[in-house]
Structure 1
Amino acid sequence: MSEAEARPIVLVVEDDAVTRRAAVEMIAEAGYAVREATDGNVAIRLLDEEEGVRVVVTDIDMPLGIDGIRLAACITRRWPRIGIVITSGKVLPIPGDVPPEALFLRKPYSEESLVAAIRSRMG
């Protein structure tokens, strides 16, 4: 049995290393397999290469390349079965920016709220 069959994969897209590491640890402790990307461009490459990603947790504000809003729109178009959780501590999304199927989670978030958001997007 492959890892994707054993444990759903969650991709964390976050440019801040400390925040990314904390999110990865919370998600792994909840029993998910985790991949990480430092920006939207890396995330799209990873999604192209790896099957089995079920949910993407992305920050909105990423200075390099594709931001979280554009990444979410791309995922919705290319991989409509992947759930999306969009996070931010600085930027509040404008209504209509977040795809209807995505969930917005304000930072700082608790482990419980992050895991609940991921579960709700698993479908």
Structure 2
Amino acid sequence: MRRSKILVVDDIGAVRQLVVITLAGLDHAEDPEIVECADAFDAIDRIESGERFDLVVTDFRIPRGREGKLVAETAKRRDPGIPVICMSGDMTDQDQAETPADVFLVKPFKLKDLLGAAERLLGKVRHE
């Protein structure tokens, strides 16, 4: 079984590191490969270049607005089956309705909720 490859996007380094450390504890045969991006445009460039990810975890509010939505849209356009987790402290219902994410986590969230969502979504990808 190949390692899962996860893209983590958050402009706040401490949050990004916490997400990375949490996801490194995923309950799979091998530790996942985790790619970090501090801004949406770096993440979008990686996705559009054809880099393959099994899961995208992105903040919604990245400086300049709702760039997390653009990350989710780009990932889903490239691979409609890719699971996306979107994190935010201030998403509206309309933001959620307009963002193609599979799971929304409201900050502050419990790390076990992030881990559980990631394991569930990666499990779906592996069984499809």
Per the normalisation by structure 1, the TM-score is: 0.82
SS of match in other structure, 1:6: coil
Structure 2 residue 7 is matched with structure 1 residue 6:
no
* 1:32 aligned residue: 32
Give the 3 Å change call, closer, same or farther, for CA 114–89 of structure 1 in structure 2: same
Identical-pair percentage: 29
2:97 paired with 1:96: yes
CA RMSD, aligned part only? 2.1
Matching of residue 71 in structure 1 with residue 67 in structure 2: no
The runs of 5 or more residues in structure 1 that have no matched partner are none
Determine helix, strand or coil for the equivalent of 1:53.
coil
CA distance in 1, matches of 2:50, 2:38: 16
Aligned partner of 1:21 among 7, 17, 24: 17
Task: Provide Cα deviations, 1:64-85, integer angstroms capped at 9, x if missing partner.
Answer: 5861112212211122122100
Distance 1:49 1:28, change over 3 A: farther
Cα 1:93–1:11 change in 2 (3 A) is: farther
* CA shift digits 1:11-65 (9 cap, x unpaired): 1000001100111111112232211111111112222446441010000000158
Question: TM-score w.r.t. structure 2 length?
Answer: 0.79
Consecutive aligned runs of 4 or more in structure 1 exceeding 3 Å deviation? 48-52
**In the alignment, which residue of structure 1 is the partner of 2:108?**
108
- Once the two structures are TM-superposed, the CA of residue 96 in structure 1 deviates from its matched residue by 1.9
